[in-house]
Structure 1
């Protein structure tokens, strides 16, 4: 059984790294392709999909973390 501290120690840094990587790629995309129409369309698609992905992943991480926090430990029973 994995305790909640271990779960948060693994997944929260990965989530924050993913958000930072997403912001960095968004910034590079905007700098490189802001003049072309295809670049603007791709930028908007990337923006929407990235926000949806961040919201979904963070909700799953927080939900699983809450589940693990509410579960009784084996040593306490």
Structure 2
């Protein structure tokens, strides 16, 4: 498997993890008055979601760059 394909798969998995975590936070905190979700605060959980989505976006950009280098033959 090419490194760019592996990077793409990892970024998709990371993005799905962020989206699933966001949905889980939404369902877990629906109708609750307290600020805890799965033992952490809602803000901390949402910040983790943001970090996961940023990692997924960064990996997609890196994958595009890597694929461009593969086309030019500049990458070993």
Settle same-fold status: TM greater than 0.5: yes
State how many pairs are aligned.
Answer: 66
Q: Give the drift of 1:60.
A: 1.2
Question: Take 1:5 and 1:61, find their aligned partners in 2: how far apart are those partners?
Answer: 9
CA contact (8 A) 2:8 2:59 kept: no
Q: Given the alignment, which residue of 16, 21, 25 partners 1:18?
A: 21
When you count helix as a share of all residues, which structure comes out higher? 1
CA contact (8 A) 2:22 2:49 kept: yes
Where do 5+ consecutive residues of structure 1 fail to align? Answer: 35-39
Give the 3 Å change call, closer, same or farther, for CA 8–42 of structure 1 in structure 2. closer
When you count strand as a share of all residues, which structure comes out higher? 2
How does the TM-score come out when normalised to structure 2?
Answer: 0.61
Structure with larger Rg: 1
Query: What's 1:6 paired with?
Result: 9
Where do 5+ consecutive residues of structure 2 fail to align? Answer: none
Q: Give the drift of 1:21.
A: 1.1
For the aligned residue pairs, the C-alpha RMSD in angstroms reads 2.5
Q: Give the drift of 1:6.
A: 2.8
Question: Take 1:57 and 1:12, find their aligned partners in 2: how far apart are those partners?
Answer: 7
